[in-house]
Amino acid sequence: MWGASDGEGSRHAYYRRTRRGRVQHVVRERYLRDDVGFGTLAGRGDLRDEDALREVLNDEHRDKKTNMRQLLVLDTNVVLHQMDLLEVEDCAPLQNAVLLETVLQETKKNNLSVYNRLALLLRDDKRCFVAFANEHHRETWRDQMPGETPNDYNDRLIREATAWFKQLVEGEGIARVVLVTNDRKNRDLALKAGLHAVTIHAYVKSVQASHPGLVELLAGKENDGASDAETDGMSTVSGAKAARFAAHFSEPEIHRRLKAGTVVQGTFRSSPYARDEATIMAYTADGQAQKITIKGHAHMNRAVEGDRVAVVRLSANEALESATDADDGEQNTAEDEGESARAGLADEVAEEPGEASMVGTKLPSKARQASSGGDAGPAYGKVVGIIKRNWRQYCGSVDERDATRVIKGEHVLVVPVDAKLPKIRIRTRQLDAIKDKRILVSIDSWDRYSAFPDGHFVKVIGTIGDRETETAVLLHEHDIPTLEFSRKVMKCLPREGAAWKVTPENSQGRVDLRHLPVCSIDPPGCKDIDDALHVRRLENGNLEVGVHIADVTHFVRHDSEIDKEAANRGTSTYLVERRLDMLPGLLTTDICSLRGGVDRFAFSVIWEFTPPHDPADEPAKKKRKVGDGGDATKKSKSKKTKSKSGDNGETEDMDLSGPGEVEDGRGLRQVSVRFCKSIIHSKAALSYGEAQAWLDDPSAVGDLPENVRMLNRIARVLRQRRIDAGALSLASQEVRFKLDNDSHDPTDVEMYQQKEANSLVEEFMLLANITVAKRIVERYPRCSMLRRHPAPAKEMFDELLRAAKIHGVDLKVDSSKNLADSLDAAVRPGKPFFNKLFRILTTRCMMQAVYFISGDFAPPEYRHYGLASPIYTHFTSPIRRYADVVVHRLLAAAEDIDPLPVPYESKDSMKELCDNLNKRHHNAQLAGRASIALHTVVFFRGRTTTATAMVSRVRERGIVVVVPEYGIEGKIAFAKSDAEAKQAFDFDADQMLTRHKATGHTIQVFDEVKVKLYVHRSAAYRESLIVTLVKPGIPCLEPGNNKAEDSTA
Amino acid sequence: MSATVARVGDVVVPGSLLCVAAQTEVAKAEAGAGAYVDGRGAVLASVVGKLVVSEPKGEPARKIFSVQTASRKPKVVPVVGSTVTCNVTKVTPRFALLDIVCVGVESVPGSGFRGMVRKENVRSFEIDRVEMHNSFRPGDVVRAKVVSLGTARSYELSTADKDLGVIAAMGEANEPLIPISFEEMKCPVTGVIEKRKVAKQDSFATLDK
Amino acid sequence: MEFVQLSGLRGDGRRGNEVRKLGCHFGAVVDCDGSAMLDQGLTKVLACVHGPREVAQRSARPGDRRSLAVANFVQDTFTQVIQTELFKGSQIDITIHILQADGGVLAACVNATTAALIHAGVPMVDFVTCCNVGYLDHTALLDLNHVEELAGGPELSLTLLPKSGKVLTMRMASSSVRVTEKLLQQLLDEAQAGCQLIHKVLDSKVRELVAVAVKKRHGADPDAEIADAPAYQ
């Protein structure tokens, strides 16, 4: 221990500028030690002496000349730029490294994400990455000399530490100490001081014989120490090459201008419609949001999707002027244009609903008005500086044309899968090996002289078009964790493994409900059974209904490794052919899963209801009738229990009364509800089909069939109440693939069938969720996790309303109730998909439902629009959603079963959790959709098909159709440009109708058309499903046609 | 923590163990200055200094553990029963106010503790006939005993004993008075006799004669 | 913010279970009965003791709440340690000046007061030492400095009688994290270990004081003098 007298303390004083521009003199202590040894292996202890170091150093790689092991001392510039290289696993030459404190601090200051990656490497027990506190070691610490710049000072510290290592490590013959730096000045000084110093490039080259693949991972050029600095056109290179882009402002300059208000900042969002257009949402000083459009590559000035940029406003003239001359440097061929146009169209279709609603949820309503009002005309701007890059690793493939003509030595262009990104130039020597592969690349830099960013190859994912590969790509692009669960996580599982049993010891404090007739109803083959149900008649004639949810939180304790992992994953992701679990399989499919015939832990919600009134013969659409005699008392009672929650009791009562408590003469009044942790014994795990069979066949007798029918009777009442309250039943284009058993390739497509048994379960889950939501908000009004679905903005419906009017359908969107009713009325005899299309398009107009923390919104805003419930949360699927896990803990705390985890009390930490869950949830949905899209493409490979489609949108340049049979939406383009379109078509925007002048065919919105579907592979290895018109026979653009044009041009 | 017992001459600090009660062969271990006996009978140091052990003469069974402080004057304050020496500052018909300057032979720290002699504490007989002005005058030096800690402002003192009372006084002629009896003092220059509550003096005998 | 770096050291180079360098000078102020200037890292505190002396008018109390809290804490602590029964009806004034604050001010105030009281020769039943402990990056950190205190994690200041191991007073604050029973126990243990560390250093400083003072007063051979010293009644 540190006896205060035996330590050497020194003062470390420096000046710094405060945010307000004052100069502050900061004094810190610095203790210099003798017991640092040779550093620390994070998580594995200190290396106290030479022997310890000798022992841990990896022995696979030795320097050829000296036959000694190598210990690399990495300089900051190497760490910052070569993380992909350093992360290579099982690469002997890169196993032994010293990370000096100086380097770690500098890295942290420059790039936190690189630092975090580095921290992972340091903790990796397969490597020998030593953290060495050189700034707290008596022998290696030096004071800054007067006049020395921070950079020079850091470099000197690095050299001093290297020299110290060299003396002790090399002297003892343990290893050769090599300083790896790409800073020429540092290297020269190191060599002068008698150290071994090389660039990372030279080092990699020296081991090329045994590890040829490493070269590919190198970022940048040798000696590029100064390339970070943006020189303002004065550099020597500019003589030879004209700068393609304007220089970016320096960081202080940006901050100065931001403060002065001459530039604004925002996140750069490339337009899905066109590659040379982007927008940012900027906030002016008075908090107004403004959408600024950036047109042309010159104005986009090397910003990449997601970057935080500084933008200066331009007049419309300036903006459009440059947009025209910006493209001269682009290598955009005609095919590119056509392709991007098509990609844009397709993306518009695929992305718009998600995109629009995401923006909508993030903006306050004031901002939305500002952006959508648009009276002032669009605002234009140009990027003048990058505040923060948002570069990640991108999936892509080598441009097919490059595969045959390698440009300038070893450079090839990689086309990212995400069409919003620019092509990336990388260097490779193994073009043949990667030309038909999906690869992962990183962007390193984008200087002013090149049209494309420079990047480097990271790894091969797999062969293009291969279903496995493409799935890996879509998982990566949606940032879905795919790694196996770590050992630490697996350690949190019960020691007994699958043999885990309910015992009296582990079930203390639980209510034993094993005698109840519990059963579960799930899709066939479902293994992760979250929920089970029971119903029974009580002696007083009332019904007891129980919803039993897998008690995941019993196994996933707060803040355990497994909990952290699950919180990060947020949700299980369901792809067409596989599932990426949030929790390890043992929990997901076994110990937590409420399988039939075994004892399981559950979290139960148990209601007592009065029996439903003649539910069996009650017609589905029965109107509200006067309540029976008992109503008055019941009403007052329910009110009493509710008005506890606040002084504005009146409004809150209105808001929080759920569908379960409406008096509508259907009986089924909720008498009581209780929550308990329990042990259940599911009598049967039914599939929807089995349950449906019992519902359909009243002759099936026995406890279970009768219970299921009783549940169904209750569910019908519950559903009717929801519909009366205005719950929407919307449609998605969900389809289901029949997969080949071996290859998992899709062999057939079918529409998703909703059976009554499905909605039976759904009703009870909704009821449970709503009941739990009320309970947790009552106890924790500020920090409960709820789910809200905001009412859609009226403007979202504009186009749909106009289209509906054309067809004489009067869609009312003022309330969810009216919307639901008018949707029901929108039927056309003989057109079975007419109604469905309406529902699909209505779904598009909806906002995204999101998790939120109750303290962030006023109770009236808790509303779930789609379910027409004043309050909602997720409680019923803790195996596959983390939000449910959180809610379980909240409920357990509200019922005083378990204490509330500490961070749950804080709104901030809950909000952070919430944001991650929303992001993960959204990504999982997108990935699921992308997986369906992928399988659709695989399905249609080599099967050109014709099908009936409906026109959902008519535009000047083309139309959008929906193919209900396959759940496909496709864009059919008629013309490449507006001018071309004007020539060939008469377009009537009001009537949503277009007429082909040559043939006289007209197409109007909601028309039925015949289309042809086939798969086309573009030059960039982007496979897409192409939809073309068969009837009426209007010529449309096809990639094939483009190719012909290209070759003639 | 440290159960080591200090030896004579060791530097001890507050809390140092000087003598473990059970262990000592002596019948009675007592705490002297700078030491105290804790609840278990052990003797511990309360100030910093060197340990000194002494035996009262003729009582070899008793051992007194004290700490010889290297620094300043010992900290003494008046306690109940202390004999104190005071200056009279004010005399009223009901009481006299005094500044305590010494406790026993030690002078008091600080600028002086205040004491008060009430009329009923001046002497032990004929209490109702005491006249304060005939007992004390401002400027008199008085020996008194602390009877209680009194209020926060002053100690309650008493001179109700023949050994207590005025021990030195100045007369109206600004000359030191000579005590001649328990109630009178005489100015040697003018021969004026002034009334006081006089402490017993050896000289009384000779004067009386 | 990272409080325990990858190398396992804290920002200033200490490990979690280490306290800062402690320095103590006695007698910096002459116009009082005892004084001590205490440095704990860059935190610098001057404590002066007057008394025991007559009860004067109520001594000046600090006006602001933070200082008042420190004053109350110090008072609560030392009324339990000083042998006040010896000084009934008198008062002891402790004046503390915080000259530099770099975290652990409360602990430094207590430690400085202990030193000043010892210097003044005020009898106390035991040494008192104080140490604070925080919990950041899942590690208990002793003797937080200012930067670490700003993190707002749990912070426990505890005063201990190191000889008897008795805890006198403690103060706990946590603006961001709720402290569980288990964590509290850990923090208590760590803080007591910290107090022992500080005690070790302070004890040696105090003993030096005696050596110096005795030398000054008694010249070459202090022992001779002491041996003759009369027993105190």
**Domain definitions of chain B by residue range:** 11-68, 83-203
Positive or negative, the Cα torsion across A911, A913, A916, A920? negative
Hey, of C7, C99, C145, C200, which one would you mutate to test binding to chain A, going by the most A CBs within 10 A of its CB? C7
Is-contact B123 B150, C-beta < 8 A? no
Phi/psi at A412 (5° precision): -135, 160
| DSSP conformation letters of chain C | --SB-TTS-BTTS--TT-PPPEEEEE-S-SSSSEEEEEEETTEEEEEEEEEEEE--SPPP--SSHHHHHHHHHHHHHHHTTB-GGGGTTEEEEEEEEEEE-SS-HHHHHHHHHHHHHHHHT--BSS--EEEEEEEETTEEEES--HHHHHT---EEEEEEETTTTEEEEEEEE-SS-PPPHHHHHHHHHHHHHHHHHHHHHHHHHHHHHHHHHHHHHHTT-HHHHHHHPPPP-
Residue A652 has pLDDT above 50, yes or no: no
Instruction: Record the tokens describing residue A425, joined without a space.
Output: 């130039």
**Residue A909 distance to chain C (closest CA, Å):** 10
The answer, for C78 touching chain B at a CB cutoff of 8 Å, is: no
Q: Which residues pair with B5 in a beta bridge?
A: none
C-chain residues within 8 Å CB-CB of A39?
A: 7
Torsion of CA A770, A774, A779, A782, to 10 degrees: 90
The band of B75, judged by pLDDT with boundaries at 50, 70 and 90, is low
A756-779 vs A703-725: helix crossing angle, rounded to 10 = 70
Any domain includes C8: no
Nearest of C228, C123, C231 to residue B63 by alpha carbon: C231
Residue A132 has pLDDT above 50, yes or no: yes
B-chain residues within 8 Å CB-CB of C203?
A: 13
Whether residues A300 and A399 fall in one domain: no
Percent of chain A with pLDDT over 90: 16
**Which residues between 180 and 209 in chain C have a beta carbon less than 8 angstroms from any beta carbon of chain B?**
196, 203, 206-207, 209
Please give the C-alpha separations between residue A361 and each of A112, A348, A354, A791, A924, in angstroms, as whole numbers: 28, 19, 11, 10, 18
Q: Verify cis geometry, omega within 30 degrees of 0, for the bond prior to A698.
A: no
Instruction: Tell me how far apart the alpha carbons of residues A128 and A44 are, in angstroms, rounded to a whole number.
Output: 10
Is-contact C148 C10, C-beta < 8 A? yes
The band of A353, judged by pLDDT with boundaries at 50, 70 and 90, is very low
The answer, for B116 touching chain C at a CB cutoff of 8 Å, is: no
- Regions of chain C where pLDDT drops below 70: 56-59, 212-233
Is-contact A759 A711, C-beta < 8 A? no
Angle (CA) A69-A71-A76 rounded to 5° is 155
- Start-to-end Cα distance in chain B: 68
Find the mean pLDDT for residues A701-708: 85
Amino acid in position A240: A
Whether residues A171 and A246 fall in one domain: no
B&C contacts, CB < 8 Å: 136
Whether residues A562 and A450 fall in one domain: no
The band of A347, judged by pLDDT with boundaries at 50, 70 and 90, is very low
Nearest to C213 among B46, B71, B152 (CB): B71
CB contact under 8 A, A29 and C41: yes
Per-residue confidence (pLDDT) for residue A5, from 0 to 100: 37
The band of A874, judged by pLDDT with boundaries at 50, 70 and 90, is very high
Higher-confidence residue of A575 and C175: namely A575
Number of domains in chain A: 6
The answer, for B115 touching chain C at a CB cutoff of 8 Å, is: no
Nearest to C90 among B15, B111, B113 (CB): B113
Domain ranges, residue C155 = 22-52+64-217
Please give the C-alpha separations between residue A599 and each of A514, A529, A806, in angstroms, as whole numbers: 7, 13, 59
Higher-confidence residue of A593 and B149: namely A593
Is-contact A302 A249, C-beta < 8 A? no
Per-residue confidence (pLDDT) for residue A116, from 0 to 100: 87
Q: How many other CB atoms sit within 10 Å of the CB of residue A269?
A: 19
Whether residues A378 and A422 fall in one domain: no
Minimum CA–CA partner of B113 in chain C: C54
- Start-to-end Cα distance in chain A: 80
A-chain residues within 8 Å CB-CB of C197?
A: 1-4
Is-contact A452 A413, C-beta < 8 A? yes
Per-residue confidence (pLDDT) for residue A406, from 0 to 100: 54
Amino acid in position A346: A
Any domain includes A229: no
Residue pLDDT, tens place only, A511-547: 999 999 999 998 888 888 999 999 999 999 899 999 9
Max distance between CA atoms of chain B, in angstroms, equals: 71
Any domain includes C2: no
The band of A279, judged by pLDDT with boundaries at 50, 70 and 90, is confident
- For the ranges A236-245, A325-334, A641-650, C163-172, the lowest mean pLDDT is seen at A641-650
Instruction: Tell me how far apart the alpha carbons of residues A941 and B73 are, in angstroms, rounded to a whole number.
Output: 105
**Residue B127 distance to chain C (closest CA, Å):** 27
CB contact under 8 A, C19 and A4: yes
CATH number (domain holding residue A1033): 2.40.50.140
Any domain includes A536: yes
Topology, domain B83-203: OB fold (Dihydrolipoamide Acetyltransferase, E2P) (2.40.50)
Instruction: Tell me how far apart the alpha carbons of residues A608 and A613 are, in angstroms, rounded to a whole number.
Output: 15
Q: Comparing B11-68 with B83-203, is the CATH topology the same?
A: yes
Higher-confidence residue of B60 and A556: namely A556
Phi/psi at A155 (5° precision): -60, -40
**Residue C230 distance to chain A (closest CA, Å):** 37
Q: Is B15 helix (H, G, I), strand (E, B) or coil?
A: coil
Whether residues A878 and A956 fall in one domain: no
Per-residue confidence (pLDDT) for residue C227, from 0 to 100: 34
CATH number (domain holding residue C203): 3.30.230.70
Instruction: Record the tokens describing residue A193, joined without a space.
Output: 């001081």
Any domain includes C15: no
Any domain includes C160: yes
Amino acid in position A600: R
- For the ranges A171-185, A900-914, B56-70, the lowest mean pLDDT is seen at B56-70
Any domain includes A676: yes
- For the ranges A136-145, A1027-1036, A1038-1047, B121-130, the lowest mean pLDDT is seen at A1038-1047
Instruction: Tell me how far apart the alpha carbons of residues A139 and C7 are, in angstroms, rounded to a whole number.
Output: 16
CB contact under 8 A, C6 and A119: yes
Please name the chains neighbouring A, where neighbouring means 3+ C-beta pairs under 8 angstroms.
C
Nearest of A78, A77, A76, A58 to residue A68 by alpha carbon: A58
Nearest to A32 among C7, C13, C201 (CB): C13
Stated as kind and residue range, the H or E segment containing A365 is helix A365-373
Residue pLDDT, tens place only, A310-336: 888 887 777 766 554 444 444 443 334
The answer, for C210 touching chain B at a CB cutoff of 8 Å, is: yes
The answer, for C232 touching chain B at a CB cutoff of 8 Å, is: yes
Q: Where are the beta strands (DSSP E) in A447-561?
A: 454-463, 511-512, 519-522, 531-537, 543-550
Instruction: Record the tokens describing residue C58, joined without a space.
Output: 């109520």
Residue pLDDT, tens place only, A622-633: 333 333 433 333
Whether residues A704 and A803 fall in one domain: no
The band of A242, judged by pLDDT with boundaries at 50, 70 and 90, is low
Find the mean pLDDT for residues B156-182: 87
C-chain residues within 8 Å CB-CB of B72?
A: 33, 121
Is-contact B199 B145, C-beta < 8 A? no
Nearest to C9 among A3, A133, A902 (CB): A133
Nearest of C24, C67, C68 to residue C47 by alpha carbon: C24
Stated as kind and residue range, the H or E segment containing B20 is none
Q: Which residues pair with A270 in a beta bridge?
A: A278
- Helix residue spans in A754-857 (DSSP H): 756-779, 798-806, 816-825, 832-845
Find the mean pLDDT for residues A637-644: 36
CB contact under 8 A, A4 and C42: no
The band of A403, judged by pLDDT with boundaries at 50, 70 and 90, is low
CB contact under 8 A, A42 and C6: yes
CB contact under 8 A, A902 and C5: no
Instruction: Tell me how far apart the alpha carbons of residues A974 and A324 are, in angstroms, rounded to a whole number.
Output: 23
Nearest to C21 among A9, A27, A122 (CB): A9
The answer, for B54 touching chain C at a CB cutoff of 8 Å, is: yes
Instruction: Tell me how far apart the alpha carbons of residues A721 and A726 are, in angstroms, rounded to a whole number.
Output: 9
Stated as kind and residue range, the H or E segment containing B66 is strand B62-68
The answer, for B95 touching chain C at a CB cutoff of 8 Å, is: no
Nearest of A126, A127, A99 to residue A115 by alpha carbon: A99
Percent of chain A with pLDDT over 70: 81
Long-range contact set of residues A562-567: C-beta below 8 Å, sequence gap at least 24: A562/A485, A562/A489, A562/A492, A562/A493, A563/A492, A563/A885, A565/A485, A565/A486, A565/A489, A566/A882, A566/A885, A567/A882, A567/A913, A567/A916
Stated as kind and residue range, the H or E segment containing A100 is strand A96-100
Find the mean pLDDT for residues A839-844: 82
Residue pLDDT, tens place only, A409-456: 567 888 888 878 888 888 777 777 787 888 888 888 888 888 888 888
Whether residues A656 and A783 fall in one domain: yes
Any domain includes A753: yes
Instruction: Tell me how far apart the alpha carbons of residues A84 and A219 are, in angstroms, rounded to a whole number.
Output: 8
C-chain residues within 8 Å CB-CB of A104?
A: 5-7
Under DSSP, the state recorded for A313 is E
Nearest to B1 among C165, C213, C227 (CB): C165
CATH architecture of B11-68: Beta Barrel (2.40)
Find the mean pLDDT for residues A142-167: 89
Residue A655 has pLDDT above 60, yes or no: no
Is-contact A517 A580, C-beta < 8 A? no
Any domain includes C13: no
A-chain residues within 8 Å CB-CB of C18?
A: 1-2, 7
Any domain includes C11: no
Per-residue confidence (pLDDT) for residue C112, from 0 to 100: 95
Residue pLDDT, tens place only, A671-690: 899 999 999 999 989 888 88
Number of domains in chain C: 1
Which residue is it, tokens 């099908």? Answer: A947
Residue A875 has pLDDT above 90, yes or no: yes
The answer, for B106 touching chain C at a CB cutoff of 8 Å, is: no
Minimum CA–CA partner of A98 in chain C: C7
Please name the chains neighbouring C, where neighbouring means 3+ C-beta pairs under 8 angstroms.
A, B
Residue A509 has pLDDT above 50, yes or no: yes
How crowded is the C-beta side of A416, counted as CA atoms within 13 Å? 24
Please give the C-alpha separations between residue B58 and each of A1004, B54, C231, in angstroms, as whole numbers: 128, 12, 14
Average pLDDT for chain A: 78
Instruction: Tell me how far apart the alpha carbons of residues A528 and A89 are, in angstroms, rounded to a whole number.
Output: 34
Whether residues A951 and A911 fall in one domain: no
Whether residues A961 and A1043 fall in one domain: yes
- Given strand A45-46, what is the order of strands in its sheet? A45-46, A40-41, A128-132, A96-100, A70-74, A176-180, A196-198
For C106-115, b/e burial (b = at least 16 CB within 10 A) is bbbbbbbbbb
Residue A876 has pLDDT above 90, yes or no: yes
Instruction: Tell me how far apart the alpha carbons of residues A784 and A770 are, in angstroms, rounded to a whole number.
Output: 13
- Does this model's pTM top 0.80? My answer is no
Nearest to C7 among A31, A39, A108 (CB): A39
Instruction: Tell me how far apart the alpha carbons of residues A733 and A968 are, in angstroms, rounded to a whole number.
Output: 7
- Contacts of A777 by beta carbon, 8 Å cutoff, 6+ apart: A645, A784, A786, A854, A862, A871
A-chain residues within 8 Å CB-CB of C13?
A: 29-33, 133, 135-136
The band of A9, judged by pLDDT with boundaries at 50, 70 and 90, is low
Q: How many other CB atoms sit within 10 Å of the CB of residue C164?
A: 14
Any domain includes C113: yes
- Contacts of A483 by beta carbon, 8 Å cutoff, 6+ apart: none
CB contact under 8 A, C13 and A31: yes
The band of B23, judged by pLDDT with boundaries at 50, 70 and 90, is low
Phi/psi at A838 (5° precision): -60, -45
- Helix residue spans in chain B (DSSP H): 203-208
CB contact under 8 A, C86 and B79: yes
Domain ranges, residue A295 = 242-388
- Contacts of A595 by beta carbon, 8 Å cutoff, 6+ apart: A529, A682, A685
Minimum CA–CA partner of B51 in chain C: C226
Find the mean pLDDT for residues B43-47: 88
